[in-house]
């Protein structure tokens, strides 16, 4: 049931806060995101800078970097994901408890970035785990990471806990675990998880190609 906004505002001026169960749950979740403490490359340095006094990620409740995936609910993939590292990243993701969110920080985590032609570089962490927010940049400045965090907070605050469009973690059929790729003779096996990522058909103009 929707809340009458005018009535809610009236009550608010009287010191009574009316909200929905969903609203207060999402408010709690979005206001204290605990990131998993790990970094893969130079983006991690910007991530560290974002937590320090000058940028102060604590303003948004996300300063408590957890050394254990069991205590974390936000994975900031900060840096190049090598194919050798990809199974460990997926395993860490699997070990995180729901609800969990993933920020792909920087060009490398999004697509492989400047190293995408490399023989050991995964062309985007979204090939194996679902990514909520992508922050472009090489590396993104701390402000960009904070913007991404705010975008994630906004996304969480709009999550549905019930109904057909409910969030994955509220859906009994939603899966929290993704298969960990194996090391193959020439490449990871499989090279991507088709449940998470499918190559999008790009419409190309034959005259310009």
Footprint of other proteins (CB under 8 A): 83-84, 116-117, 119-120, 123, 183-187, 191-192, 199-202, 204, 206, 209
Q: Which is nearer to other proteins, 84 or 91 (CB)?
A: 84
Closest approach of other proteins to the CB of residue 197, in Å = 8
Q: Which is nearer to other proteins, 57 or 125 (CB)?
A: 125
| Distance (Å, whole) CA 96 – CA 94 | 5
CB 65 within 8 A of CB 75: no
Q: Which is nearer to other proteins, 150 or 196 (CB)?
A: 196
Closest approach of other proteins to the CB of residue 107, in Å = 12
CB 101 within 8 A of CB 74: yes
What are the residues facing 182 on neighbouring strands? Answer: 189
Closest approach of other proteins to the CB of residue 44, in Å = 20
Q: Which is nearer to other proteins, 49 or 85 (CB)?
A: 85
179 φ/ψ sector (left φ>0, alpha ψ -120 to 50, else beta): beta
What are the residues facing 101 on neighbouring strands? Answer: 74
């Amino acid at each position: 049931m929707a809340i009458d906004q005018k009535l809610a505002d009236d009550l608010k001026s009287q010191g009574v806060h009316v909200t929905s169960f969903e609203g207060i749950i999402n408010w709690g979740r979005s206001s204290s995101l605990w990131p998993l403490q790990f970094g893969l490359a130079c983006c991690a340095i910007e991530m560290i800078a974002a937590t320090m006094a000058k940028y102060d990620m604590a303003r948004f409740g996300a300063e408590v970097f957890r050394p254990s995936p069991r205590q974390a609910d936000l994975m900031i993939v900060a840096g190049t994901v090598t194919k050798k590292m990809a199974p460990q990243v997926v395993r860490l993701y699997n070990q995180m408890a729901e609800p969990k969110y993933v920020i792909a920080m920087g060009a490398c985590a999004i697509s492989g970035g400047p190293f995408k032609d490399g023989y050991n570089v995964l062309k985007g962490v979204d090939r194996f785990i679902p990514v909520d927010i992508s922050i472009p940049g090489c590396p993104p400045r701390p402000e960009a990471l904070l913007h991404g965090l705010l975008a994630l907070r906004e996304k969480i605050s709009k999550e549905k806990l019930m109904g057909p469009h409910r969030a994955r973690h509220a859906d009994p059929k939603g899966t929290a675990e993704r298969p960990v790729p194996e090391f193959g003779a020439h490449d990871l096996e499989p090279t991507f998880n088709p449940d998470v990522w499918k190559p999008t058909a790009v419409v190309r103009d034959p005259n310009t190609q």
